[in-house]
Amino acid sequence: MKRIALVTGGTSGLGLQLVRDLVSANYKVYSLSRKEDAINQLKKELPEVVCLCGDVSDMSVLMNTFETIEQNDGKLDVLINNAGIIYPGGVEKLEADEWNKMFAVNVNGIFYSVKTFLPLLKKSENANVINVSSISSQMTGSSIAYSACKAAVDMMTKSMAKELASYRIRVNSVNPGIISTGFQIHNELMTEKEYPEFLNEISKTYPLGIGEAKDVSNLICFLISEDAKWITGSNYIIDGGRSINI
Rounded alpha-carbon distances, angstroms, from residue 165 to 5, 15, 17, 78, 151: 19, 26, 28, 15, 22
Do 236 and 177 form a contact (C-beta atoms < 8 A)? no
Decide if 146 is catalytic. yes
Task: Classify the C-alpha dihedral 98-14-81-63 as positive or negative.
Answer: positive
Rounded CA separation 201/218 (Å): 26
Residues 6+ apart with CB under 8 A from 159: none
Q: Which residues of 192-227 are buried (b: 16+ CB within 10 A; e: fewer)?
A: eeebeebbeeebeebeeebbebebbbebbbebbeee
User: Which residue in 44, 45, 38 sits closest to 11, CA to CA?
Assistant: 38
Rounded-to-integer distance, Cα 58 and Cα 177, Å = 28
The span from the CA of 211 to the CA of 229, in Å, is: 26
Provide the b/e sequence for 95-133 (b: ≥16 CB within 10 Å). Answer: eeebbeebbbbbbbbbbbbbebbbebbeebeebbbbbbb
Element (H, E) at 171: strand 170-176
Catalytic position from the list 87, 146, 167, 195: 146
Catalytic annotation, residues: 146
